[in-house]
A and B are shown apart, each in its own frame.
Chain A
């Protein structure tokens, strides 16, 4: 039986790596990958706590919802990234300076 702390530490590591990717990378797609890593870390925590909730399975059900929401977010974000690329010819967040009116 693996203890809760193991899962929490693994989740913390994945979350910090995702945070680093969001802060440091200059490609919108890799920033998105960083956000996905952070979501995965959150799901690890949900699932780890869910082992002690046999009555309602709250963690596992909400982990499912989180996976579905992340997939929807990726679809919309990639559509936006492709539009931005068509407009600016770049996916570097630094180059995107003005909003279209």
Chain B
């Protein structure tokens, strides 16, 4: 049952991602991105990372996607003209080159994934035998909070500074220039 639901989420994510990259209408593609993000959040829940799933919903679906739609609405004039003219060459590289690169990369990645599954790293085996894997009943939010404030304090501060820099930079870039 659990596996079936997992396959459902995975199929939804991959299927709508494929539809997304093959779709001409960008507004529809962005709304399909919604579905991809929701199903990937479902996959996080299956990996027992409920807090990450909630963060994904809050930040990606609530923030990033609205930003993307906003930018699309502000810059879609050229796209409308293009659709009206009916351009013949819609893709930057010929499609088959991009497809070839993507498919061969997929083959390499799946080969690696199957190898990792066949002989798993020593630390995973040790964790399995010691029984220290995360269990469905664990209170992950509390553990993450403690770890962020102790073990990962330096990365946390670096990320906060970088986030502030990015916000200031974005505000500076979109500001109107007074005099040329």
Residues of A within 8 A of B (CB): 1-21, 23-27, 29-30, 32-34, 36-37, 40, 43-44, 47-58, 60-65, 67-76, 78-83, 85, 89-94
Contact = CB atoms under 8 A, between A and B. Distances in A.
A67 B52 contact: yes
Interface residues of B, number: 88
A58 B90 CA distance: 42
Contacts of A50: 47, 49, 134
B163 A64 contact: no
B14 A14 contact: yes
Interface string B149-168: 00110011001001100110
A2 B30 contact: no
Given A7-B43, A12-B112, A36-B33, 5 more contacts: A3-B117, A61-B148, A63-B52, A67-B60, A78-B67
Contacts of B93: 23-24
Contact of B52 (A9, A30, A43, A76): A43
A9 B74 CA distance: 37
